[in-house]
Chain A
Amino acid sequence: METIKSIADLKKIRTSILEENQKKIVENGNKKLVEIKVAMATCGIASGAKAVMDFFIEELPKRNIVANVKQTGCMGYCYAEPTLEITIEDEKPVVFGYVDVKKADEIIEKFIKKGELVDGIIPINYELAN
C-alpha cells in the first residue's frame, strides 16, 4: 500500500486516479463510461436503492453496456427516493427520482441506450462549491 508522505505524494495519487480513469476511457473505445450514481444513504436504502443498484450491476453487463455504477451518500431529494444520477459521456448529469427496478429497466433501454429522456427527471436545483 502506497502511503502519502508529502503534498507531492497526494498529487501523485490524484494524477494516478485521473490516469486510471483515462485508461478506462481508452479501453472503452475513447468514450467516457456511463456513470451511474445511486443515492445510498440510510433513507435511500430504506426505500429500495439497494435493489435498484444490484439491478444495474447485474443487468448492464448482460446488455453489453460498460458503465461505472457506484454508491453515493444522500443527494437531498428525500421526497423522490430512490434517486440516481446518470452522466453519459460529456452530457450534463441527469437525476431521476422514484426509481424502482421497472423504471431502472426503462432507463437502461431508453436513456442509456438511446439517449432518450424518460419521465421522472428531477431538475437540479443547487450549485456546488467545488
Chain B
Amino acid sequence: MSNRYRKNLLVCNGSSCQQASNFDLVAFINFKLKEYNLENEIKVVHSVCSNKCSIGPNIIVYPDNVEYSKVTQSDIDDIIIEHLLNDRIVERLVLDKEKGNGVEPKKQYRIALRNCGFIDPEEIKDYIEKDGYNALAKCLTEYTPQEVTQEIIKSGLRGRGGGGFPTGLKWDISSKSIADQKYVVCNADEGDPGAFMDRSVLEGDPHSVLEAMAICGYCIGANKGIIYVRAEYPLAIKRLKIALNQAREYGLLGKNIFGTDFEFTIEIKYGAGAFVCGEETALIHSMEGLRGEPTLKPPFPSVSGYLKKPTNVNNVETFANIPAIINKGAYWFASIGTEKSKGTKVFALAGKINNVGLIEVPMGITLREIIYDIGGGIVDGKKFKAVQTGGPSGGCLTEKHLDLPIDFDSLTAAGSMMGSGGMIIMDEDDCMVSMARFYLEFIVEESCGKCAPCRIGNKRLHEMLTKLCDGKGTMQDLDLLRNLSVVVKDTSLCGLGQTSPNPILSTMTNFYDEYYAHVAEHRCPSGQCKSFMRYYISEENCIGCLVCARKCPAGAITGEKKKVHVINQELCTKCGICMEKCKFHAVYLN
C-alpha cells in the first residue's frame, strides 16, 4: 500500500453539480494541485451523486469526510492551502454547521434495514454476529409475554403495511383471545406498483423476520407461524427457506427454544400475486385455500382468523423492527419520529427521481428532504409536480406539501396515506388524469369482484377517465366522476374498494385545472395524452428527404422528394417516430 494517496477529493459527478459549476471542476482542481506540487499526494475522483444537489457543486475530502458545498473556482485555493496543506477546515464552505466539524448529519437512519446490505442473508452466523436472536433469547428467558407486549406498546410501533394500527395493541388483543391454537402470520404479499420494501428485507435479512415472528408467538401464545409471500419473489422465498432450515438446525425454531418450553415453527405459503390478498382477511382466506376475497371486520383476525383461530397478522417491515426494539429498548425507539408515529419508515423511491432506491428515514422528515436531499432531485432538472404515496390506495401530494413532516396522520390529513411505502415521483411532463387512469386500470384488474361498488364502480370510473384522456369528456363527466368516487369509497366492502378512488379524488382536489383543460379546452396541459396531440411538418424546415415517410409505421406521411411532406391526421397513431427520425427538426407538436 505504499502508493496510497494521502487524501482524496471526491467531486460529485451528478448532472446537477456539473451544471452548477460552469467549468470543468476536476480539470481545474488537477491543474491547481500541480501548481502546489500535490499531484502525487492528492487524487481527485468522481463520485456518484451525493444527493445534495441544491447546495452543489459538492466536494468531499476523504478520508476526513468533510463536505464542502457551493464550491466555486476561487474557493479551490482555500481548500488546498487550508485543508490539504494545513489540515484546517474551511468553515465558510461547510454549509451544514449545526453538527459542527463539517460532517453532514445523515438524513437516513436504518432500523428495519439495519442488516440489509451488510450481512450474507444465506448465512445465519452473519446474523448472529450482529446480535441476531439475542432479542428472542432475552424475551424467552428474562421477560414474561405481557412484559414484552408492554415494551412493544411503549415503543409506539405502528403497523408498517399501511394501516398504521399500533402493533403492541394488536399483540395484546391476540394474546387475550382464548383458543387452543393461535397463529402468527407474516404478510409478505407486497403488491403496490413500484414498492419493493418487503422484498428487500426478506432478501437481505430474513432471519430478523423469523426472530420477530417467534417473539410475537411467545407474546400471544402461538406456536405456529406462517409467512404468506407472493410467488413472484423467488429469491426471497429461496433465502427464507435457507434461513428457516438454518434456524431449525440451530434449534432456534422448533421445540424447547433456548431451553424453555416454548415451541415455535414457521412454514411458508405462496400467494399467487393478487393485490387484494394483502388485505388481511383476504390473505387468510387465500391461506385456507379459499378464494382471496375479503370479509367484513369484525371479527378481527386477532379474534377469529386462520381456520377460525386467533391470528396475528403483521407486515414484514413491522416484524423487522421488533428485534431492534427489544435489544435497544422501547424508549430508544420512541425517541425517534413524531409524537404519534414513532421510529422510521422504509420508502421505495421510484419514478422521475435521480436516485431511485430504497431508503429508511425517521418519521417527521419532510418530502423536500426525501426528494431533493436523499433522492437527488428530479430527473433532468425538471419541475417537481406530485408524488403518489400509498400506491393505488393513496393519493398525491403536491408542491404545497413539500415541507409537510411525513407521518401516518399528516399524510391522511393531506388526503393521501402512508401505505406500505411506495413513493412514485412525477414531474411536469406527467398528466395527472392519465396517472389516475393508470391506477384505476390496476384496480379494475385486481378487484376480486365480490362486492358491486368495487367491481362495477371502479370499472365505470376507469371508463370515464379513459373518456377524458381520449378527449371525449364533458363537464357532466367530471361531476359524475367525483360523485361515483365518493359512492365507491363509502360502500365498498374492503380496503381495496374503500381506497381505490383516492387517486381520483386527490388529483381532482389538487389538479382540477388539468381535468378542466381536458374537457373544456381540449388539451392535455402536460402533453402526455396522445389523443390531444397533433404532429405537423414545418414547411420551413422540411427538405423533403422522405425519411419520415419511410419510417412511419402507419403510412400516414405522404410527400415527394424535395417537396414538403404532409401528415394525414386520420391515419396518424401519434407514435412520434417521425419526430425522432427527422434530422432537420421539421416535425413539431401542437
Contacts A5-B259, A121-B48, A125-B374; is A10 near B109 (CB within 8 Å)?
no
Contacts A72-B117, A117-B10; is A7 near B358 (CB within 8 Å)?
no
Size range of the interface on B?
35 or more
**Contact between B128 and A74 (Cβ–Cβ < 8 Å)?**
no
**Contact between A130 and B114 (Cβ–Cβ < 8 Å)?**
yes
What residues of A have a CB within 8 angstroms of the CB of B138 in the complex? 7
Contacts A13-B128, A76-B359, A130-B130; is A125 near B50 (CB within 8 Å)?
yes
Q: Which of B10, B107, B113, B200 contacts A125 (CB 8 A)?
A: B107
Q: Which residue of B lies closest to A130 (CB)?
A: B114
Asked if A33 is at the interface (CB within 8 A of a chain B CB), the reply is no
Asked if B108 is at the interface (CB within 8 A of a chain A CB), the reply is yes
Q: Which of A76, A114, A116, A120 contacts B357 (CB 8 A)?
A: A76
Asked if A77 is at the interface (CB within 8 A of a chain B CB), the reply is yes
**Contact between A17 and B199 (Cβ–Cβ < 8 Å)?**
no
Those of A92-130 within 8 Å (CB) of chain B: 92, 97-98, 114-130
Asked if B203 is at the interface (CB within 8 A of a chain A CB), the reply is yes
Those of B107-140 within 8 Å (CB) of chain A: 107-111, 113-123, 125-126, 128-131, 133-134, 137-138
Most chain B beta-carbon contacts within 10 A, residue among A72, A73, A128: A73
Q: Which residue of B lies closest to A75 (CB)?
A: B117
**Contact between B358 and A42 (Cβ–Cβ < 8 Å)?**
no
Contacts A14-B128, A74-B200, A127-B109; is A97 near B48 (CB within 8 Å)?
yes
What residues of B have a CB within 8 angstroms of the CB of A75 in the complex? 116-117
B404 to chain A, nearest CB (A): 22
What residues of B have a CB within 8 angstroms of the CB of A45 in the complex? 235
**Contact between A13 and B125 (Cβ–Cβ < 8 Å)?**
yes
Contacts A73-B204, A123-B50, A130-B130; is A117 near B43 (CB within 8 Å)?
yes
The 4 closest A-B pairs by CB, nearest first: A73-B204, A126-B108, A75-B117, A3-B251
What residues of A have a CB within 8 angstroms of the CB of B60 in the complex? 123
Q: Which of B109, B128, B205 contacts A129 (CB 8 A)?
A: B109
Asked if B315 is at the interface (CB within 8 A of a chain A CB), the reply is no
Contacts A3-B250, A7-B258, A10-B128; is A79 near B45 (CB within 8 Å)?
no
What residues of A have a CB within 8 angstroms of the CB of B119 in the complex? 72-73
**Contact between B250 and A74 (Cβ–Cβ < 8 Å)?**
no
Contacts A10-B137, A13-B128; is A73 near B258 (CB within 8 Å)?
no
Asked if B252 is at the interface (CB within 8 A of a chain A CB), the reply is yes
How far, in whole Å, are A116 and B51 apart by their CA atoms in the complex?
Answer: 24
Q: Which residue of A lies closest to B204 (CB)?
A: A73
Q: Which residue of A lies closest to B45 (CB)?
A: A117
How far, in whole Å, are A85 and B119 apart by their CA atoms in the complex?
Answer: 11
Asked if B546 is at the interface (CB within 8 A of a chain A CB), the reply is no
Q: Give B1-39 as 1s and 0s: 1 = Cβ < 8 Å from A's Cβ atoms.
A: 101110010100100000000000000000000000000
Q: Which of A1, A17, A129 contacts B111 (CB 8 A)?
A: A129
Contacts A79-B354, A85-B117; is A41 near B107 (CB within 8 Å)?
no
**Contact between B45 and A125 (Cβ–Cβ < 8 Å)?**
no
B275 to chain A, nearest CB (A): 19
Those of B420-445 within 8 Å (CB) of chain A: none
Asked if A71 is at the interface (CB within 8 A of a chain B CB), the reply is yes
Contacts A42-B235, A114-B3, A120-B48; is A127 near B106 (CB within 8 Å)?
yes
Q: Please list 19 pairs of residues, one from A and one from B, whose beta carbons are closer than 8 Å in the complex, sorted by A's number.
A: A17-B129, A41-B200, A71-B120, A72-B117, A72-B119, A72-B120, A74-B200, A74-B203, A74-B204, A76-B357, A79-B356, A114-B3, A116-B4, A119-B47, A120-B46, A123-B48, A126-B107, A128-B110, A128-B118
Asked if B324 is at the interface (CB within 8 A of a chain A CB), the reply is yes
Asked if B328 is at the interface (CB within 8 A of a chain A CB), the reply is yes
Asked if A80 is at the interface (CB within 8 A of a chain B CB), the reply is yes
Asked if B355 is at the interface (CB within 8 A of a chain A CB), the reply is yes
B55 to chain A, nearest CB (A): 14
Asked if B569 is at the interface (CB within 8 A of a chain A CB), the reply is no
Asked if A51 is at the interface (CB within 8 A of a chain B CB), the reply is no
**Contact between A129 and B110 (Cβ–Cβ < 8 Å)?**
yes
Q: Which residue of A lies closest to B336 (CB)?
A: A129
Most chain B beta-carbon contacts within 10 A, residue among A3, A7, A41, A91: A41
What residues of A have a CB within 8 angstroms of the CB of B115 in the complex? 73, 130
Asked if A6 is at the interface (CB within 8 A of a chain B CB), the reply is yes
Asked if B509 is at the interface (CB within 8 A of a chain A CB), the reply is no
Apart from A71-B121, A121-B48, A128-B114, list 5 A-B contacts with CB within 8 A. Answer: A13-B125, A13-B128, A72-B120, A123-B48, A123-B50
Asked if B183 is at the interface (CB within 8 A of a chain A CB), the reply is no
**Contact between B252 and A73 (Cβ–Cβ < 8 Å)?**
no
Asked if A26 is at the interface (CB within 8 A of a chain B CB), the reply is no
How far, in whole Å, are A6 and B203 apart by their CA atoms in the complex?
Answer: 28
How far, in whole Å, are A77 and B249 apart by their CA atoms in the complex?
Answer: 34
Q: Which residue of A lies closest to B354 (CB)?
A: A79
A45 to chain B, nearest CB (A): 7
**Contact between A116 and B203 (Cβ–Cβ < 8 Å)?**
no
Contacts A17-B129, A78-B356; is A41 near B106 (CB within 8 Å)?
no
Asked if B228 is at the interface (CB within 8 A of a chain A CB), the reply is no
**Contact between B4 and A72 (Cβ–Cβ < 8 Å)?**
no
How far, in whole Å, are A90 and B174 apart by their CA atoms in the complex?
Answer: 47
Asked if A57 is at the interface (CB within 8 A of a chain B CB), the reply is no
**Contact between A73 and B50 (Cβ–Cβ < 8 Å)?**
no
**Contact between B107 and A117 (Cβ–Cβ < 8 Å)?**
no
How far, in whole Å, are A10 and B46 apart by their CA atoms in the complex?
Answer: 44
**Contact between A80 and B48 (Cβ–Cβ < 8 Å)?**
yes
Asked if B141 is at the interface (CB within 8 A of a chain A CB), the reply is yes
Q: Give B382-422 as 1s and 0s: 1 = Cβ < 8 Å from A's Cβ atoms.
A: 00000000000000000000000000000000000000000
Asked if B190 is at the interface (CB within 8 A of a chain A CB), the reply is no
**Contact between A79 and B360 (Cβ–Cβ < 8 Å)?**
no
**Contact between A117 and B8 (Cβ–Cβ < 8 Å)?**
yes
**Contact between A39 and B117 (Cβ–Cβ < 8 Å)?**
yes
**Contact between B358 and A78 (Cβ–Cβ < 8 Å)?**
yes
Asked if A4 is at the interface (CB within 8 A of a chain B CB), the reply is yes
